[in-house]
A and B are shown apart, each in its own frame.
Chain A
């Protein structure tokens, strides 16, 4: 590792010492590139767009958190719900509000903010308008969907597996949420295309590129769920069709469901690759490799939905295995990401004077909540990712499929790695758009929040992983299975899950307190951190931005992985299933 360091360390130290203004001039001299107009503050109209998304996201987080807390207490055998509220109703609310609403709103706000920051200082007026249009349509869908869940007309969980049949308004709500996200995505792509057109021959800013890959992934993935809802579930709930092809609907759902998790993860990676190096006083490790890893995620996160359906009939072992192989190829960009992050840390730590094999670790800004929260997220991603490999391991999936192990897994990935990164982003993004400063006191609370969250998740997810290995099912209300030996033996773990859940909920309350604190913080400037490449970095190869090629490869992989099994499902002899309301 030392070899990477020697050349650049002194340079970084010089730059750090000289201060950021001189550093910018230094870069300019070194790169001989005309600098973008330096960014000072957000346009008020862009601030409003970003802030609206973040506030909606955190309202969903709080509501989803309350549902999660109650669920944990019920499953832990600590409370019974007052008449009228169902466990599975809470579970539906928790899943929809957390996995679909909190994440999507936060991601839209974050990417729009980053596009304003990196593509010329403010958004195009038309892109901003599309952003608001998307926000309005998604919000209409969210409110409608939430009402249907609260009315107990859509207790179908966030996966809404047919032939459980929700009210038609619930499916209309889903359509609105997806179409709204497309409108927002169109605004982002328009802004990016405009920048490319007005900056002929230049490489796009890395953040903007990554944001567009994330949205491309989202647009391709949501086609599956859109087809499922528009052509299968909605006509069926309206009574236009009598039955539904269950295997096809599940396959369309998981064609969307797995890239969905990468839609959560890639924005966290944007923070890790682009924002964190700046926060710790380092530089981009490699702009080109970062782009390549994002493109590989785009390719290998879509044609892989069958690894959620390994225990199902109706798909032959060959196609399951093929998609398992494609699933595992994300290991390659994941390894690239891990290398790049820790190389950035070491370079920055050494530039700050860290010596010896691990001395650089001590030099990292541990008291900076903007760094500490995402760093804990990265650390948690190591076991979380390893768990994911187990889940996708073809026949070995039988050990964990639909057990609490899986619930534990995604509370480490999305609810810890991604969520902690999003919280870390919030600590600077809210002040950056409101013209305030993240104070030392709020930094301290940010670190406390991170520790509380990580500790609570460790207890909750740990218990879920363990009891899942023993076979305890996920998505199941409190039960002892008629006092069976197994059912009784799982109760202590379920109590531990509830205790972990209480701690995590305290974490949500601390977070809400921090957000209120951010709005009352002193006026000032907080930067939207964007790392620069090394002064001697090689130019980024042009083929990394040749969209037709990359999208083309993605489409080919999807067709290879899905065409034959889907044809097979379409030609089934079964007349399909009629709908049931079993709740």
Chain B
């Protein structure tokens, strides 16, 4: 198969850039701990509220300005509805759904994770700026999807 010289150059540059990009992506994922959010443990969605850690919802102190926020997502809200943390707090969110699939996104941050019945999701973020942050559901979950929200207050 004949490939024109200019096309070979074009493809070689393209493939080299691709390889470099994928390497950077891989190193940042696995070496710098920047993997996409996730989690890997099963739960019975109907018994979620009786299953640890969801039998005790809310903020738990893990260490120096480091917290775990255990939250439930359901049609059409989150529990707890409001969380307060001091500025600079590192918060690990632990979430599951008791009914359909929901989203959990905090605009102005990179927090964005799916909340799926039967699975527990984790995502971590450090809140360096004080203020009120909106939490919203970004996966269609039914007639009240557009009102599904919660709030994080980061105190300065």
Chain A: residues with CB nearer than 8 A to chain B? 1, 3-4, 86, 88, 91, 155, 157, 161, 163-164, 245-247, 250, 286, 288-289, 292, 309-317, 320-321, 324-325, 328-329, 331-332, 335-336, 339-340, 343, 393-399, 401-403, 470-479, 481-482, 484-487, 538, 541, 572-578, 580, 582-583
Contacts and interface: CB of A to CB of B under 8 A. Distances in A.
B118 A247 contact: yes
Nearest to B3: A289
Contacts of A86: 143
B52 interface: no
Contacts of B117: 163, 246, 577
Interface in B1-32: 1-7, 10-11, 14-15, 18, 21-22, 25-26, 28-30
A458 B2 CA distance: 39
A313 B149 contact: no
A574 B122 CA distance: 17
Contacts of A3: 5-6
A314 B11 contact: no
Nearest to B43: A574
Contacts of A4: 4, 6
Nearest to B108: A471
Given A324-B25, A481-B136, A476 B4 contact: no
User: How extensive is the interface on chain B, given as a class?
Assistant: 35 or more
Contact of A316 (B22, B40, B114): B40
Contacts of B118: 245-247, 572, 574-577
Contact of A339 (B10, B35, B106, B136): B10
B42 A573 contact: yes
A1 B100 CA distance: 56
Contacts of A578: 46
B2 A538 contact: yes
Interface of B: 1-7, 10-11, 14-15, 18, 21-22, 25-26, 28-30, 34-40, 42-46, 75-76, 99-101, 103, 105-108, 110-114, 116-122, 132, 134, 136-147, 149
A173 B75 CA distance: 27
A161 B29 CA distance: 28
A311 B36 contact: yes
Contact of B29 (A289, A395, A485): A395
Given A247-B116, A395-B35, A574-B43, 12 more contacts: A88-B142, A88-B145, A163-B101, A286-B4, A292-B1, A310-B36, A335-B11, A394-B36, A398-B37, A402-B105, A541-B1, A572-B42
Given A317-B29, A482-B149, A402 B138 contact: yes
Nearest to B4: A4
Contacts of A332: 11, 14-15, 18
B66 to A, nearest CB: 21
Nearest to B96: A313
Given A311-B113, A471-B108, A473-B136, A393 B14 contact: no
A313 B116 CA distance: 8
A479 B146 contact: yes
A311 B149 contact: no
B138 A395 contact: no
A250 B139 CA distance: 13
Query: Which 6 A-B pairs give the minimum distances between C-beta atoms?
Result: A582-B142, A471-B107, A574-B118, A473-B138, A574-B42, A479-B146
B120 to A, nearest CB: 6
A328 B23 CA distance: 12
Nearest to B133: A486
A481 B134 contact: yes
Contacts of A336: 7, 11
A161 B116 CA distance: 11
B116 A312 contact: yes
A268 B73 CA distance: 41
B134 A487 contact: yes
Contact of A582 (B99, B110, B121): B99
B39 A313 contact: yes
Contacts of A343: 4, 7
A421 B5 CA distance: 30
B45 A577 contact: yes
Contacts of A310: 36
Contacts of A309: 114
A84 B1 CA distance: 61
A313 B122 contact: yes
A582 B75 contact: yes
A343 B67 CA distance: 58
Given A321-B26, A332-B14, A313 B142 contact: no
A474 B112 CA distance: 13
A474 B105 CA distance: 12
